[in-house]
């Protein structure tokens, strides 16, 4: 059973999401929160599989709450998906940098939302990688970006660096395999090793590390 914590300051949004999850086989709502402080407390209490986190809330916002949840050693099994309006959310990059596993647009279709949650729980590919890349690039374009190579970047092999760059371009395993003429399983192995060396929680953080280290632009 996938347990989802719903965090949003709008009652109607929380009600709709709770109804959606509680009526879906293999999924349920693990609780609700209307602000970031309550979200952190609920996450620590319920230890959900996924926190669906609104960013813009009064008091402690979703960005601060994401930082606290992903930094909590007792919540290493919890994944955070942030909700955004995309064009107007300059905080998406920061949310990914601080451990969010991806993001969804607020107008995402219910079936896509459910599939995205399952994908994150499986530890699969980053949600909408090409869209994530666009968000990161737009954020970088708004403000000067200083390259800060990851301290473990030197541990990557040449092939792993190449593959991390392709992950940051938004390619999935099959696309990376086709580009490099290797098998999808080999691509997946290289990605897993790169994530381990760079201490990345998931592919979302791998994308962020690639941009910060100058492997992608």
* Rounded Cα distance, 64 and 94, in Å: 10
Give the per-residue pLDDT at 88: 54
Say how far apart CA 7 and CA 14 lie, in whole Å: 7
Classify 2-123 by CATH class. Answer: alpha beta
Strands lying side by side in the sheet with 50-54: 27-33, 2-7, 50-54, 79-84, 102-105
Please give the pLDDT value at position 157.
Answer: 96
Nearest-angstrom CA–CA distance, 188 and 134: 23
Please tell me the CATH code under which domain 153-212 is placed. 1.10.10.10
Residue with tokens 């399983």: 185
Kindly state the tokens that stand for 205: 């953080």
pLDDT for position 139:
58
Q: Which of 69, 12, 17 is nearest to 42 (CA)?
A: 69
Please give the Cα distance from 177 to 70 (Å, whole number).
31
Amino acid 140: pLDDT = 60
Cα–Cα distance for residue pair 206/169, rounded to 1 Å: 11
In which element (H, E) is residue 112 found?
helix 110-122
If phi > 0 it is left, if psi is from -120 to 50 it is alpha, else beta; for residue 183 that is beta
Domain ranges of the chain: 2-123, 153-212
Query: How many whole angstroms separate alpha carbon 216 and alpha carbon 140?
Result: 11
Q: pLDDT tens, position by position, for the chain (217 residues)?
A: 999 999 999 999 999 999 999 999 999 999 999 999 999 999 999 999 999 999 888 888 898 999 999 999 999 999 999 887 765 556 777 777 778 888 888 888 899 899 889 988 887 555 555 565 666 666 566 555 567 888 899 999 999 999 999 988 878 889 999 999 999 999 999 999 999 999 887 787 888 888 888 887 6
pLDDT on residue 146: 65
pLDDT confidence of residue 30: 97
Task: Please report the pLDDT score of residue 212 as a whole number.
Answer: 81
pLDDT at 126: 52
């Amino acid at each position: 059973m996938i347990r989802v914590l719903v965090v949003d300051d709008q009652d109607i949004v929380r009600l709709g999401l709770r109804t959606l999850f509680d009526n879906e086989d293999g999924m349920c709502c693990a609780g609700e929160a209307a602000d970031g402080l309550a979200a952190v407390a609920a996450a620590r209490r319920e230890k959900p599989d996924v926190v669906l986190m609104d960013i813009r809330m009064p008091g402690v916002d979703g960005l601060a709450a994401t930082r606290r949840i992903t930094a909590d050693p007792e919540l290493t099994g919890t994944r955070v998906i942030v909700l955004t309006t995309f064009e107007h959310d300059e905080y998406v990059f920061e949310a990914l940098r601080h451990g969010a596993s991806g993001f969804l647009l607020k107008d995402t279709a219910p079936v896509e939302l459910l599939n995205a949650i399952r994908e994150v729980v499986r530890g699969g590919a980053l949600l909408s990688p090409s869209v994530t890349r666009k968000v990161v690039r737009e954020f970088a374009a708004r403000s000067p970006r200083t390259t800060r190579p990851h301290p473990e970047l030197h541990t990557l092999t040449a092939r792993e660096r190449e593959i991390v760059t392709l992950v940051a371009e938004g390619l999935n395993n099959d696309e990376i395999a086709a580009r490099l003429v290797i098998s999808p399983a080999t691509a997946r192995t290289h990605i897993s090793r790169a994530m381990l060396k760079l201490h990345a929680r998931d592919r979302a953080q791998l994308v962020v590390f690639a941009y910060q280290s100058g492997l992608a632009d």
